[in-house]
Amino acid sequence: MENGLTGLFDGWEETMVWTCLQGHMGQVVAEGGPPPVSALCAVGDFCFLAGFPSRTLAAQADRPILVPRTMDWIPVIRSVWGTRAVPFLRYAIRKEPDVFDRSWLADCAATLPEGVILTSSSGSNRQSVAEHILSFTLALCRRLPTYRDAQRDHRWEDHGAMKTIFGANVLVVGAGNIGATYAAMCRGLGAHTIGLKRTVNGPIAGFDEVFSIDHLDDLLPQADVVVLVLPHSAQTVGLMDEGRLSLMKEDAILISSGRGSVLDQEALARTMKGGRLWGAALDVTEPEPLPTDSPLWDIPNLIITPHVAGGMRLELTRRVCIQMAQDNLRRYLAGEPLKNRVR
């Protein structure tokens, strides 16, 4: 984040922007300077535009969603893209209470006319996130990060024993939509799957066993793979601390893809540098982006991705969102209960 780009995006609370500026994903294009006066960050389906409005940069913003830093960019974008540029309000929420203004959204909902119904697309990214977690699992089992490092250094080396998901005990801490989808994938590969959730109301598809989260300490020593897919809450902050990391098998795999606050990252770094755990993978951290001086970056058997497991990165997720909306419209017209109703 050098060359004056930080100032252009200063105050922008968007993980993708800062991860892009750190060089971990996407592409940055700057104009003018030094220091630059305009810049864009292109990440996935998004182009984030900052600084003095530039027709040159607007023309290079070829992603489906353009997010300008200020309203001054709008006439420039329209002059370049014409009727293809359709303005809309995007209010993306995060579950952490310190970065999501729930009162603002509540005020917006309160202005809606009486009788207006709101529904969510909860569960639409379950396949995307579950596949990401499964990719982590298999990559670590087969030592792929180690072999990637060897390839980078042009070293033809055999790094010995590997692991298999077949017959493994997979403990999923957070047996919701994503956890159950991942568990079903693991069962298909021959794993024994155990789910933990706050309240157990019976069997859950994808799991061989389901327990309340109160059994976490009893089950950690039995697990070959531990997956954290919990939301941020007062009850989950620091749940996976140094004590619980010490309960895991020395050759277990740990994956975190819920919220970064659930895992004590400093404790994880100490644990892994001390030679415990076969490997680990994080798609979420606390904070985000992960600071460049974090010791986690340099642990060879740790995979880090910048919170990209979900979102709209798969066309499948878009289709599922559309199908959910269509299904609820059909239900509404038929007088049936709506799914994922929030108001």
Instruction: Give catalytic status of residue 244 as yes or no.
Output: no
Number of CB atoms found within 10 A of residue 293's CB: 6
The structure tokens listed for 226 are 């531990």
Choice among 143, 192, 259, 286 that is catalytic: 259
Who's near 223: CB < 8 A, 6+ residues apart? 169, 170, 171, 194, 248, 249, 252
Instruction: Give catalytic status of residue 132 as yes or no.
Output: no
Radius of gyration over every alpha carbon of the chain, rounded to an integer in angstroms: 22
Instruction: Give catalytic status of residue 288 as yes or no.
Output: yes
- Alpha helices by DSSP H, 153-297: 177-188, 216-219, 242-247, 265-273
Write the burial class of residue 74 (CB in 10 Å: 0-12 exposed, 13-18 middle, 19+ buried).
middle
Number of CB atoms found within 10 A of residue 26's CB: 21
SS3 category, 39:
strand
Choice among 78, 288, 315, 330 that is catalytic: 288
Catalytic residue numbers read 259, 288, 307
